[in-house]
Amino acid sequence: MNIVDTSGLSCPEPVIMTKKATKDKPQQLKVIVDNVASRENVTRFAQATGYSVSAEDGEGKWTLTLERRS
C-alpha cells in the first residue's frame, strides 16, 4: 500500500500530492496529514474522485485511508 506523508505542508500541497498518488487509481492509499484543513480538503478531493475515506486520529496527525469504490 502506498503512503503519502504530507506532514508539515499546508493546502493545497496535500491535495496536490494526493492527486498525483491517485493518478493510477490505486485500490487503497494512506495519506498522513497534520492539520484539520488538510484533512478536510484531502477527504473532499478523495470522495469526489471515487474513494471512500476513513480517518484515524493519532498524536496530532491523522491517517486517512482511501479505498476505491467499485
What is the per-residue pLDDT across 35-52, written as a single tens digit (0 to 9) for each? 999 999 999 999 999 999
> What local confidence, expressed as pLDDT, does residue 57 receive?
95
> What local confidence, expressed as pLDDT, does residue 54 receive?
98
Domains of the chain: 2-68 (3.30.110.40)
d(CA 66, CA 23) in angstroms, rounded, equals: 13
pLDDT single digits (tens) 1-25? 899 999 999 999 999 999 999 999 9
Dump the DSSP string for the chain.
-EEEE-TT--TTHHHHHHHHHTTT--SEEEEEE-SHHHHHHHHHHHHHTTEEEEEEEETTEEEEEEEE--
d(CA 58, CA 23) in angstroms, rounded, equals: 27
Q: Which residues pair with 5 in a beta bridge?
A: 32
